[in-house]
Amino acid sequence: MMQSFFAIVPMACVTVAAIAAMVMEAFRYPGERLPIAGFGVIGLTGAAIASAALWNQGLSSFDLVAADNFGLFVTGILVVVGLLSLAISTSTVDREHLPAGEYYALMLFATAGMMLMATASDLLVIFLALEVLSLAVYVLTGIRRNSPVATEAAFKYFLLGAFSSAFFLYGIAFTYGLTGSTRLARIASLMTMQAGAPTPMQLLALGLVIVGFAFKVAAVPFHMWTPDAYEGAPPAVTAFMSTGVKAAAFASFMRVFLSAFYPLRGTWSDVLWVMAAATMIVGTVVGVAQSNVKRMLAYSSIGHGGYLLVALLSANDVGRGAVLFYLLTYAVTNIGAFGVIGLLEHADRPNDTVRDYAGLWNAHPALAALMTIFLLSLGGFPPMAGFVAKWYVFSAAVSAGYTGLAIIGVLTSVVSVYFYLRIVVMMYMTPSESPVPVLPPPKVAAAALIVCAILIFYLGVLPTRVLNLAASSIKPFF
């Protein structure tokens, strides 16, 4: 009987930590400083240990949550995202005078929802996990209550998120009407039995589910919320939701479409082809025109979502492993970039335009060097991790016969180099009339940025072990 609970231990550790942070906030005296973030570190560390213990066990809880190696690998990515996000949040929480218990509790509840979404093997559980993480992220986006920009961003994100959730729920309802089940394995077997020309009801269910996932991964044309949400949220929150939400959504996307809806691959592959191409093109072209660094990285995130869609669409052994490797490298790189933005931000001066980075090398050489590493990795420069990730994505696309998508991906990646290098040129070659004042960064945040930089070089120079682990974790289940 106890084995039925083993698969949910990682997310249970994070949930307990979130409750402890919330309780401590309730009993904290006004102005009292308590190590509330420590609960998050303990909970995430417990989740990592539990995931390692569950590796190769193939356990399932109530036939609804699967602790397979694929889900555990994504859980590991989410642990990394959570720990790094907590580390870079310290300066933001202190500077903005945010309620620490509320902030960290919401971040941990969102992480638990992400873990559940990545491991759920039932459509209704995926929906519940999606709502848990979404509600927490909506509140985090608008947690700066005195900021009109943050309030507007959270409101837009909430409205569009509720709209997409309705589509997803209708898709689940139609899928249940077709198969009489919401279990992914059962849906896959019944869809296989109904193989042939897709019926209008199958197409409707498929389309509605795609809309729900496309919104969460910020795929075109469901990307409208991304720039406003990224700009309005605190940088640490933007780093967290741009990486964690994307990782959980793509993991669930793969689990649903490479198992339950795989018999309809001939239909949804055409839709994803168009969506991937449009996502890469729009994310890159519109990103070039941005002067706000947060909005630029928002469109960069949209473009990277297109590359991930290419890997998912390829669906061969290389492509499946490339999705997980890309999610890890993107998470480490993006958190590092937003971590630097957070250190440069002030309560009375956001310092988030490209011009604000002029002369940063002269004023703060360490931050400029770190930001250069993160931007070059996002652009796909060797020997950074971003280069290896893109190489495997495009290789998977070519080997799967999607040469056209690979060409679009390479071209958009080359164009995206412009807006990454524009910031680098601004930091090193453009003098500043008014240097950005930067307070000494907290030691924890500085250590997190250094760890991100080290991981970028490690994954770029020695990627084989992680790539093999990603490929082996995914192969037995799809």
Per-residue pLDDT reduced to its tens digit, 109-136: 999 999 999 999 999 999 999 999 999 9
The pLDDT value recorded for residue 385 is 92
The pLDDT value recorded for residue 31 is 63
C-alpha to C-alpha distance for 81 and 74, rounded to whole angstroms: 10
Quote the Cα angle for 465-470-473, to 5°: 120
Domain count, the chain: 1
Instruction: Look over the chain and give the mean of its residue pLDDT values, rounded to a whole number.
Output: 88
C-alpha to C-alpha distance for 19 and 22, rounded to whole angstroms: 5
Q: Is the pLDDT of residue 208 over 60?
A: yes
Alpha carbons within 13 angstroms on the beta-carbon side of residue 476 total 10
Is residue 40 within 8 Å of residue 79, measured between CB atoms?
no
Rg (CA), the chain: 21
Q: Which residue has the higher pLDDT, 192 or 392?
A: 392
Is residue 41 within 8 Å of residue 88, measured between CB atoms?
no
C-alpha to C-alpha distance for 379 and 287, rounded to whole angstroms: 13
pLDDT bracket for residue 53 (50, 70, 90): very high
- Cα–Cα separations (whole angstroms), residue 173 to 35, 214, 264: 44, 18, 18
pLDDT bracket for residue 32 (50, 70, 90): low
pLDDT (tens digit per residue) in 381-440: 989 999 999 999 999 899 988 999 999 999 999 999 888 999 999 888 877 766 666 667
Domain residues for the domain of 325 are: 3-477
C-alpha to C-alpha distance for 445 and 459, rounded to whole angstroms: 21
Q: With pLDDT > 70 as the criterion, what percentage of the chain qualifies?
A: 94
Alpha carbons within 13 angstroms on the beta-carbon side of residue 462 total 4
Q: Which residue has the higher pLDDT, 95 or 216?
A: 216
Q: Is the pLDDT of residue 324 over 80?
A: yes
The pLDDT value recorded for residue 211 is 92
Quote the Cα angle for 92-97-102, to 5°: 85
Nearest Cα residue to 115 out of 80, 164, 74: 74
The pLDDT value recorded for residue 202 is 87
Quote the Cα angle for 253-258-261, to 5°: 90
Q: Is the pLDDT of residue 262 over 60?
A: yes
Q: Is the pLDDT of residue 183 over 60?
A: yes
**Sign of the CA dihedral with 146 first, then 149, 154, and 156 last:** positive
pLDDT bracket for residue 2 (50, 70, 90): low
Is residue 126 within 8 Å of residue 213, measured between CB atoms?
no
Q: Is the pLDDT of residue 1 over 70?
A: no
C-alpha to C-alpha distance for 369 and 304, rounded to whole angstroms: 23
The pLDDT value recorded for residue 438 is 67
